[in-house]
């Protein structure tokens, strides 16, 4: 039987200032989970009390990118450089993480998803990369298309991701926040040359948890190694 992969969905209005709203996830996630042999199932934002029921119906949870995580979840006030937040999304996805851990379901976070995982377990974030001591890479690669890698990351050779991708791996980059203090029971398994955390993992909660900062969904169509990340998540994690 194919694994059912729950994707925590985002939402936005169809037209600016409109009351017509969409629940969605980037189609790339759907496509590459299907190609990995999984069945994608979107989980719309809802009331926290429903998180248990949603998680009970899936095998694994995927947290995608999007809004900045509100700094209130790691004890800070909003910095002037923070971008759009979505308190209801934060609250619901944090509930999904809590339930996935309780039900021992693996979790995979991409970009914001990784950052939210770190915050959920007590870590913190740089609200903007300019607040780091020595950032020197361009972590928002526009106008370079996302199917191209723009910098390397160094991976822990003993990590599952390191065994899959090797110890030096080129990635795309589209983020202005980053992991600051790593959560307890998590390990940093990949970093960029300027020290930005690019991947984290934990095996301390009954089921594995993996987060990556780059966007394999935007490159998997042309880079088999990025599709391999989805296959690893769907079939192995």
Q: Which of 73, 111, 139, 175 is catalytic?
A: 111
CATH number of the domain enclosing 164 = 3.40.50.880
The sign of the CA dihedral 12, 17, 21, 27 is negative
**Is 73 marked active-site?**
no
Number of structural domains the chain divides into: 1
Going by their DSSP bridges, the two strands 187-191 and 151-155 should be labelled as antiparallel
**Is 49 marked active-site?**
no
pLDDT attached to residue 59: 98
What residues contact 49, with CB distance under 8 A and at least 6 apart? none
Q: Which of 93, 198, 201, 217 is catalytic?
A: 217
**Is 111 marked active-site?**
yes
Q: Which of 73, 86, 151, 215 is catalytic?
A: 215
Q: Outline where the chain has alpha helix (H).
A: 27-35, 51-56, 87-102, 112-120, 160-165, 224-235
d(C-alpha 202, C-alpha 219), whole Å:
25
* CA-based nearest residue to 6, from 62, 47, 73: 62
Q: Give me the residues of the chain with pLDDT under 50, please.
A: none
Range of the domain at 127: 4-235
169-225 pLDDT tens trace: 999 999 999 999 999 999 999 999 999 999 999 999 999 999 999 999 999 999 999
């Amino acid at each position: 039987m194919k694994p059912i992969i729950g994707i925590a969905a985002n939402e936005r209005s169809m037209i600016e200032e409109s009351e017509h709203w969409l629940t969605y996830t980037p189609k790339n996630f759907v496509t590459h989970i299907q190609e990995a042999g999984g069945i994608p199932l979107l989980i719309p934002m809802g009331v926290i009390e429903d998180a248990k029921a949603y998680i009970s119906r899936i095998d694994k949870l995927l947290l995608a990118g999007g809004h900045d995580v509100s700094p209130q979840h790691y004890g800070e006030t909003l910095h002037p450089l923070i971008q759009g937040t979505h308190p209801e999304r934060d609250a619901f996805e944090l509930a999904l993480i809590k339930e996935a851990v309780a039900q021992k379901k693996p979790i995979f976070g991409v970009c914001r998803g990784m950052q939210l995982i770190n915050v959920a377990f007590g870590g913190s974030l740089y609200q903007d990369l300019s607040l780091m001591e020595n950032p020197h890479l361009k972590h928002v690669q526009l106008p370079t298309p996302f199917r191209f890698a723009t910098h390397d990351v160094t991976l822990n050779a003993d990590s599952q991701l390191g065994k899959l991708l090797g110890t030096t791996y080129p990635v795309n980059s589209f983020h202005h926040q980053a992991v600051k203090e790593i959560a307890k029971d998590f390990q940093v398994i990949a970093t960029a040359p300027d020290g930005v955390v690019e991947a984290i993992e934990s095996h301390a909660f009954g089921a594995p948890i993996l987060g990556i900062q780059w966007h394999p969904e935007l490159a998997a169509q042309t880079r088999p190694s990025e599709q391999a990340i989805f296959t690893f998540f769907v079939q192995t994690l």
